[in-house]
Structure 1
C-alpha cells in the first residue's frame, strides 16, 4: 500500500467550498475553515480540481480530502475488479428479501449468515439458488455478531456488508470500490433511498423523503461534528485489513455508528458517496415504523459510554448558545442582544482572517450561516431530543408554546421545501413530529435505563468552528 494518494488521483472542491481573493483563499470544509494558499498550492489548483502529480500536490489533495473541502473525482480513480470483494449478508428469515438482494448482486461472491432463522431451510434454499456460501449460526447474535461471523470467512481484500432488506443498484459496488485508491480509506457507503414498491402509503412516502438511513446528497468525509457524522450499515464497503474484529458484537443498535467513530478515531478515513445508491424496503405499518425510530434512539447511551465526546445531541459554540437563549427568552432585549452577539462574532471572525481581502464581509456571511445552523439545532432540542421537557414546560408557559409553534412550523416548512416529498404538507408535518417524538423517546429511555443524562447533554464549549487552517506544505495563515 502506498504512503499517500497515488499519481493521477484527482479531487474537486466541494460545492460548499468557496474560492475567494482570486484563488488565494479557500473557505469551506467541516468544520468551516479559512485557508490561504501558498503559491505551490495555487498552481496545483486548476478549475477547482487538484490532480496528484508530485509530493506537493499529493499533500494538498490529501489536506483537501481530510478537511472535507474537496471530494474525489470518481472518473479519475482506477476500476477495481468486483472479484476482489465479498458481500456479507446477515439475515434472519426474510427469504424473499434475500432472494431479491442476491439477484441484484449479479453473481458477486456472497456469504449469507443465517442468524438463527425460524425457517433456516427457506434461507438455505435461496442461498443455494444464487450460489452463495451459507453460514448458519446456532444462536442469534444480532446484526453485528452475524456480520463479524461472515467477516471472519472473507478472504478478499474488500468486504461489502449488505442487509437483506436492501437492493443494490447496478454499478454501485464498482463505484464504491474505486474509492479505495485512497490508501487511508477504511469504509465507504452509498446513499440509501427507498425501494419503489406497490402499495405505497403516507409512511413510505415520508420515508422516501426523510428516511433515517438517508444521510444526504453531497459526498463527504464522515466523522463526528462534520456535515455527515455517521453511516448506516444497510450497505457499507470496507477494507478488510483495517476493520480488525469488525463491529462491537455486544451492541444490537448503533453498532454502525460505533464502527465509523472507532475507525475515524484510529486515523482512518470514512466517506459517503451519494453517486452510488441502494434501495431500502422501508417499514410501511404505523407500529413498526414508530418502533424502529424509537429503537434507533435507544442506542444513544451506548454511544455516550463509548464516545463521550461525540454523542452530544447538539454542538454549539458559546456565542451560538447565547444566541438561542436570547431568542428563546422572547423579551424586549432579545433582538438587541442577538444582534450584538452576531455583530461581535462577525468582527471576531474578520479579525482572525486578516489575510482575506474582505475579511469582515466574509465574517458576516459565516456568522449568518452559523446562526441559521444554531437555530436549527435549537429547534431539534425543542422538538426531538428534549421534547418531554418541552411538553412539561409548555403546560405553564406561553413563551414555550410560542417557541414550539414557531419551531414546528419552520422545521416542517424547511424540510418540506428541501425534500419535496410525494406527500401533502399536513401529513408530512405530522409524520415529522411523530418521527422526532419516537426517536426522542428512545433517547430518553436509554438515558433512564443507564441512569445517566450523557446522551441528552448539549456540547457547549469553545471549539474550532471557523478557523484559519494551516498545512505546512500547502497553505499558510
Structure 2
C-alpha cells in the first residue's frame, strides 16, 4: 500500500532541518534521518507533495517516524465517502437529540439503546430524526453497544459518536480525507468542551484540561508518544479494518485497546485537531471525580492485553540515574545529575557524528530528555504512586520536599500552558484531585487484578 499522488505531508513543528537540508532531526523517538540529494529536492520548504514513487516512499517514512503529518485540507476525499453514524446511548434523550440535530436527517444513523431505564424517550428522539433504533435487552456497556451497531453498517466508513457529543459540519468530511492513506484505519478530532459558558469551576477546569483533549498539534496515535491513545467519544473508522470491533469484556479503556490493536496490526491512527467535536463535560465535583477514578480502573485490563504499552513511565538507564541523584537531595546531587547529563550529551553528539554541529544539536536534545524525566518522575509521585508517596511523606522530610516541589511545579507549568479561565488556586486543587482520583483507580484495578504491571515503569535503551 502506497500513498497516492497528490498526498501532502508537512514536517512536524519539532522536526529540524539540519546541515543545510542534508538531514532531518525529530520524530518519536528522536532520530536523525539523512537525505540523499534526490530526497532533498523532493521537499518544498517544510512540505512534501507526493508526485512519484520516490516522494511516496519518503512521505511514508516521515509519517512512520512521526517527523511529518498529513495536510488534511489538501488531501483528496475517498472515492466512496459514504458513512454511517453509530450512537451508543443509555437514557440521555436530551443529549441524544442535540447530537442528532447536529448530524441532520440525511446521514444514516444507528442509535443503539443500551437497556435504557426509559426507552420510550430514546425511541421518540430516534424516530424524530429518522435514525434506525436497535434496542438491547441487557446493558452491555459502550463497547458492546458500538459493536451491535457496527454489525449493521453497510457503508465503507463508520462514525462512532457518544450521545454527549456535538459534531461540527466539517468534522467528519475532514477526517475522511485522512483515509487517502491506505494504511489509516481510524481518525479522530480534537475533543473540546461545549461552547456555552461553563457553569462550575470543575467544568472550567475540564474545558482547559479534559482527559479527552489531546492538544492542538496533529499527531500519529502511537504508544510511547505524546498522543499514545485516542478517545472513542468521536471516531471515524474504516469498517473493513475494525474486524470484530471493540473488546466487549472492557467497560473502560476499550477505545485505547482498539487503537493499540490496530497499530499492532500495522495500521495507522491519526489525530487531527484542525476539526473538533464538542463534549458535554461533567459539571458536578462528585460525578467528575468518580469518572476520573473509573478511567484509572482501565489500567490493569490494558496491562494484561498490552503489557509493553501501559507503563506509567518509560526511563532510560541514564534518566533513572539523573532522577535518582536529584531525589537523593544530597550535596552531591546536583553535581552528579549534571555529570550524568554531560555524559548523555556527549553520547548523543557522537551519534550525530557527521552533522555540522553535533554538540549544538545534542545539548537541547539532552535538555529535553532531562525535562521529560523530571515530568515523568513528578507524575509518579503525585499521580500513579501517590499512595506510596503519602506513606513516604509521613516518614521522610526528603519525600515531603520532593512531593511539594513536584506538585507546585506541575501546577505552575500546566496552568500557564492550559490558559485556564480559572484562578490558580482552584486550578491547582482540581489538578491534585484529578491525580488522586486517577491514581486511586489504577491502584484499585491493580489490587483487583493482583498484578503490579500497571504500576511498574519500563526501562528501555
The TM tier, using the shorter chain, reads: over 0.9
In the TM superposition, residue 196 of structure 1 has moved relative to its aligned partner by 2.9
In the TM superposition, residue 373 of structure 1 has moved relative to its aligned partner by 0.7
C-alpha separation between the residues in 2 aligned to 1:6 and 1:82? 15
SS in 2 for 1:22: helix
Which of 52, 55, 60 lines up with 1:54 in the alignment? 52
Aligned position for 1:465: none
Q: Is the 8 A contact 2:104 2:129 kept in 1?
A: no
The reply on whether 1:84 has 2:82 as its aligned counterpart is: yes
In the TM superposition, residue 83 of structure 1 has moved relative to its aligned partner by 5.9
Q: Is the 8 A contact 1:25 1:36 kept in 2?
A: yes
**Residues 54-203 of structure 1: matches in 2 within 5 Å?**
54-80=52-78, 84-107=82-105, 108-197=107-196, 200-203=199-202
Higher relative contact order (CA 8 A, sep 6+): 1
C-alpha separation between the residues in 1 aligned to 2:81 and 2:61? 31
SS in 1 for 2:112: strand
Aligned position for 2:309: 310
Aligned position for 1:433: 432
Q: Is the 8 A contact 1:9 1:52 kept in 2?
A: yes
Map Cα deviations across residues 21-61 of structure 1 (whole Å, 9 max, x no partner).
Answer: 11111111111111111112101011111111111100000
C-alpha separation between the residues in 2 aligned to 1:391 and 1:129? 54
In the TM superposition, residue 227 of structure 1 has moved relative to its aligned partner by 1.8
Q: Is the 8 A contact 1:36 1:355 kept in 2?
A: no
Map Cα deviations across residues 185-205 of structure 1 (whole Å, 9 max, x no partner).
Answer: 001100000113456110000
Q: Is the 8 A contact 2:81 2:156 kept in 1?
A: no
In the TM superposition, residue 75 of structure 1 has moved relative to its aligned partner by 2.4
In the TM superposition, residue 106 of structure 1 has moved relative to its aligned partner by 2.6
C-alpha separation between the residues in 1 aligned to 2:14 and 2:84? 35
Between 70-79 and 225-234, report the one with greater CA deviation.
70-79
Aligned position for 1:212: 211
In the TM superposition, residue 78 of structure 1 has moved relative to its aligned partner by 1.3
The reply on whether 1:460 has 2:451 as its aligned counterpart is: no
Aligned position for 1:369: 368
Q: Is the 8 A contact 2:15 2:25 kept in 1?
A: yes
C-alpha separation between the residues in 2 aligned to 1:368 and 1:114? 51
RMSD (Å) for aligned C-alpha atoms: 1.0
Aligned position for 2:443: 444
Q: Is the 8 A contact 1:188 1:272 kept in 2?
A: yes
C-alpha separation between the residues in 2 aligned to 1:440 and 1:76? 42
Aligned position for 1:8: 6
Aligned position for 1:473: none
Cα gap change, 1:353 to 1:104, in 2 (>3 Å)? same
Cα gap change, 1:82 to 1:174, in 2 (>3 Å)? farther
**Residues 150-299 of structure 1: matches in 2 within 5 Å?**
150-197=149-196, 200-299=199-298
Matched pairs, number: 460
Task: Give structure 1 stretches of 5+ with no counterpart.
Answer: 463-477
Map Cα deviations across residues 231-276 of structure 1 (whole Å, 9 max, x no partner).
Answer: 0110011000000000000100000000000000010001100011
Map Cα deviations across residues 320-363 of structure 1 (whole Å, 9 max, x no partner).
Answer: 11111010000011011101110100100110111211111211
TM-score scaled by length of structure 2: 0.98
SS in 1 for 2:21: coil
Q: Is the 8 A contact 2:185 2:237 kept in 1?
A: yes
SS in 1 for 2:277: strand
Aligned position for 1:466: none
Map Cα deviations across residues 420-474 of structure 1 (whole Å, 9 max, x no partner).
Answer: 1010000000000000000000000000001111100000121xxxxxxxxxxxx
The reply on whether 1:360 has 2:359 as its aligned counterpart is: yes
SS in 1 for 2:20: coil
SS in 1 for 2:191: strand
Q: Is the 8 A contact 1:316 1:460 kept in 2?
A: yes
Q: Is the 8 A contact 1:74 1:179 kept in 2?
A: yes
Q: Is the 8 A contact 1:319 1:341 kept in 2?
A: yes
Task: Give structure 2 stretches of 5+ with no counterpart.
Answer: none
SS in 2 for 1:217: coil
TM-score scaled by length of structure 1: 0.95
C-alpha separation between the residues in 1 aligned to 2:233 and 2:214? 12
Q: Is the 8 A contact 1:14 1:69 kept in 2?
A: yes
**Residues 300-449 of structure 1: matches in 2 within 5 Å?**
300-449=299-448
In the TM superposition, residue 305 of structure 1 has moved relative to its aligned partner by 0.2
C-alpha separation between the residues in 2 aligned to 1:130 and 1:81? 27
The reply on whether 1:19 has 2:17 as its aligned counterpart is: yes
